[in-house]
């Protein structure tokens, strides 16, 4: 289409040039009408030929325009497909990022950040060791090929009646070098294997999610059992303390009754003894009342604690 438009000046040149010259002549000699009459015929001829050319170029322009529209439609379709594919990739990327963030939040909530970091370090170390092992195997293959080439060379020398002494010297030197390289390779391989086994043991020491779940369940059961044992122990201690206090009170009561029984006959024989017995009984009664008040205060405190615990349990439920 651009090429068709670029052809307009060359196609309309024969029309515009006489018009331009005619206009310039008309401005210069406005009083000379014969000049216009002379130029009118060539202008008509040039205009007719230019019109034919213009019709041909318009058809070409329409064809080029249709081709460009088809190309534009194809390009638009391709762009739409690319946009759809890009949108799908963006959605997948966002989904993967959301999953990663969710996993990181789960790890952070579980409090296993240090364990996961340690596990990732160990996995990276294992991968590095695997790469080193692959490099060693590649080196081993290269050495093996080199030794096979040397063996072939030695066999060729032996078949060509090479000097026995130099052949034996070369063989001894090659065998010594190969033995030394083999010994060094074995030492390096043993060190690598020890490092790999150490890393594998460290990986095995890291508990798996199923093991962590089992540990959690077991700890919950153990906590429940310990709580039950603690409640039973507290109950037993409370019962023991109550029985011990009852025993002390009963012993005091028995001692008091024995004392009254032993001194009652002597006390009622005289007025002074009777007054003394009455005073002692009043003192005992006063002490019993004080003890009762103290027990009432303790009972009220325990009752308040019981009510508080009952309210907290009801609110939780």
Q: Do 6 and 98 lie in a common domain?
A: yes
Q: What is the pLDDT of residues 26-41, one digit of tens each?
A: 444 444 444 444 434 4
The verdict on residue 255 lying in a domain is: yes
Q: Do 90 and 117 lie in a common domain?
A: no
Query: Domain span at residue 56?
Result: 2-103
The verdict on residue 295 lying in a domain is: no
Q: Among 252, 234, 249, 232, which residue's Cα sits nearest to residue 302?
A: 234
Q: Do 59 and 152 lie in a common domain?
A: no
The verdict on residue 175 lying in a domain is: yes
The answer to whether residue 224 scores a pLDDT higher than 90 is: yes
How many CA atoms does the CB half-sphere of 311 hold within 13 Å? 6
Q: Do 10 and 96 lie in a common domain?
A: yes
The answer to whether residue 159 scores a pLDDT higher than 90 is: no
Q: Which of 227, 247, 267 is the last residue of a domain?
A: 267
The verdict on residue 298 lying in a domain is: no
pLDDT band, very low/low/confident/very high, at 25 (cuts 50, 70, 90): very low
Query: Which of 40-44, 94-98, 140-144, 183-187 is the least confident region?
Result: 40-44
Choose the most confident range, by mean pLDDT, from 27-31, 93-97, 138-142, 215-219: 215-219
Q: Do 119 and 151 lie in a common domain?
A: yes
Query: Which of 35-44, 56-65, 104-113, 126-135 is the least confident region?
Result: 35-44
Q: Do 57 and 83 lie in a common domain?
A: yes
Would you state the pLDDT for residue 251?
92
The answer to whether residue 253 scores a pLDDT higher than 50 is: yes
Higher pLDDT, 58 or 196: 196
- Rounded to whole angstroms, how far apart are CA atoms 278 and 263? 12
Q: Do 62 and 133 lie in a common domain?
A: no
Q: Which of 182, 206, 230 is the last residue of a domain?
A: 206
* Total domains present in the chain: 3
Percentage of residues of the chain with pLDDT beyond 70 = 75
The verdict on residue 294 lying in a domain is: no
Q: What is the pLDDT of residues 82-121, one digit of tens each?
A: 888 888 888 888 888 888 888 777 777 776 667 777 778 8
The answer to whether residue 200 scores a pLDDT higher than 90 is: no
pLDDT band, very low/low/confident/very high, at 222 (cuts 50, 70, 90): very high
Total Cβ atoms within 10 A of residue 150: 15
pLDDT band, very low/low/confident/very high, at 20 (cuts 50, 70, 90): very low
Q: Answer whether 199's CB lies under 8 Å from 122's CB.
A: yes
How many CA atoms does the CB half-sphere of 165 hold within 13 Å? 0
Q: Do 121 and 174 lie in a common domain?
A: yes
Q: Do 172 and 219 lie in a common domain?
A: no
pTM as predicted: 0.33
Higher pLDDT, 15 or 64: 64
Q: If you average pLDDT over residues 281-303, what whole number do you get?
A: 87
The angle, 0 to 180 degrees and rounded to 10, between the axes of the packed helices 113-159 and 33-110 is 100
Q: Where are the beta strands (DSSP E) in the chain?
A: none
The verdict on residue 18 lying in a domain is: yes
pLDDT band, very low/low/confident/very high, at 223 (cuts 50, 70, 90): very high
Would you state the pLDDT for residue 47?
43
Task: Please give the structure tokens belonging to residue 299.
Answer: 């009972």
Q: Do 90 and 125 lie in a common domain?
A: no
Would you state the pLDDT for residue 155?
72
Q: If you average pLDDT over residues 235-247, what whole number do you get?
A: 92
Q: Which of 68, 103, 138 is the last residue of a domain?
A: 103
Secondary structure, 3-state, 242-311: HHHHHHHHHHHHHHHHHHHHHHHHHHCCCHHHHHHHHHHHHHHHHHHHHHHHHHHHHHHHHHHHHHHHHH
Q: Do 128 and 93 lie in a common domain?
A: no
Would you state the pLDDT for residue 37?
41
Choose the most confident range, by mean pLDDT, from 121-135, 149-163, 229-243, 291-305: 229-243
Q: Do 20 and 79 lie in a common domain?
A: yes
Query: Which of 38-47, 62-71, 146-155, 254-263 is the least confident region?
Result: 38-47
The verdict on residue 138 lying in a domain is: yes
The answer to whether residue 244 scores a pLDDT higher than 90 is: yes
Q: If you average pLDDT over residues 145-171, what whole number do you get?
A: 70
The verdict on residue 134 lying in a domain is: yes
């Amino acid at each position: 289409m651009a090429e068709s438009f670029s052809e307009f000046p060359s196609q309309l040149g024969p029309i515009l040039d006489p018009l331009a010259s005619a206009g310039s002549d008309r401005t210069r000699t406005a009083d000379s009408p014969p000049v216009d009459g002379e130029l009118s015929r060539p202008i008509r001829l040039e205009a007719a030929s230019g019109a034919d050319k213009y019709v041909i170029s318009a058809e070409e322009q329409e064809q080029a325009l249709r081709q460009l529209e088809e190309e534009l439609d194809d390009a638009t379709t391709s762009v739409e497909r690319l946009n759809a594919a890009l949108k799908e990739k963006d959605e997948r990327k966002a989904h993967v990022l959301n999953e990663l963030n969710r996993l990181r939040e789960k790890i952070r909530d579980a409090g296993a950040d240090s364990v996961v970091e340690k596990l990732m370090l160990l996995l990276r170390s294992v991968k590095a060791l695997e790469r080193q092992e692959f490099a060693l195997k590649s080196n081993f293959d290269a050495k093996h090929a080199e030794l096979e080439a040397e063996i072939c060379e030695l066999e060729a020398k032996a078949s060509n009646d090479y000097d026995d002494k130099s052949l034996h010297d070369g063989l001894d030197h090659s065998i010594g070098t190969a033995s030394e390289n083999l010994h060094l390779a074995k030492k390096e391989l043993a060190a690598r294997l020890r490092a790999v086994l150490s890393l594998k043991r460290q990986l095995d020491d890291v508990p798996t999610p199923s093991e962590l779940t089992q540990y959690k369940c077991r700890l919950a059961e153990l906590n429940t059992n310990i709580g039950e044992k603690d409640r039973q122990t507290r109950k037993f201690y409370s019962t023991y303390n109550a029985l011990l206090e009852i025993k002390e009170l009963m012993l005091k009561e028995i001692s008091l009754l024995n004392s009254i029984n032993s001194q009652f006959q002597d006390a009622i024989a005289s007025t002074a003894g009777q007054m003394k017995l009455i005073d002692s009984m009043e003192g005992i009664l006063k002490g019993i009342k004080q003890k009762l008040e103290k027990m009432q205060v303790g009972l009220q405190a325990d009752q308040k604690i019981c009510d508080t615990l009952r309210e907290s349990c009801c609110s939780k439920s």
